[in-house]
Amino acid sequence: MNVIIIHGGPLTNTPQNPHNLHELYWQPWVKSELEKQGISCYVPAMPEPWLPRYEDWKAELEKYPIDKETVLVGHSRGVTFLVRWLSETKQQIGKLVMVAPNLRTASADPVLQDFYSFEIDTSLQTRVPERIVFTSENDELENIESAEFLTKELNCQVINLPRHGHFITKEMDSDEFPELVSCILG
């Protein structure tokens, strides 16, 4: 088994909101915990996460080994990318974990609109035997609705963690995410 974690995206790339999302929040802690268990874990820096282009993200992801034992983990916009990639490539994996999914944008930017414009292939359920959504009641409404939609469309297991917001450090009060590690290992 190997694990690949795909981070979400900020709204802008500024000094106050730099492109180091792969080094923030719970991702480094989860990577460290998995590596202690002898599991390879990759947390790539996805290109231009503030204005993602699907083909660029696809090229970055495909640098890593992915097979029927791989666990893919997405956070926020990273969920959108992984669901689209699995829908389009028909890749078989072991598990898809979706943390605080965000499947839509209010942006008028055509590049961002294109990233979010795709049809979910519900048959990915046959290629991805385990599908889990982490959600919290105090996340933004659009993310709660995205979690509900994915749960219905892909028949996902739901793990609701109270007071975790959008699963970022200031809302979780921690950089640790033991529930995710348990989910990956379980």
Reported as a single tens digit per residue, the pLDDT across 3-39 is 999 999 886 665 455 566 667 789 999 999 999 999 9
Over its C-alpha atoms, the chain yields an Rg (Å, rounded) of: 15
Whether the predicted pLDDT of 75 surpasses 60:
yes
- Sort 87 into a burial class: Cβ within 10 Å, 0-12 / 13-18 / 19+: middle
Reported as a single tens digit per residue, the pLDDT across 98-146 is 999 999 866 667 888 899 999 999 999 999 999 999 999 999 999 999 9
Whole-model pTM?
0.94
- Ordered by start, the domain boundaries in the chain are 21-185
Distance CA 35, CA 157 (A): 25
CATH tag for 21-185 (out of 3.90.1640.30, 1.20.140.10, 3.40.50.1820, 3.10.20.30): 3.40.50.1820
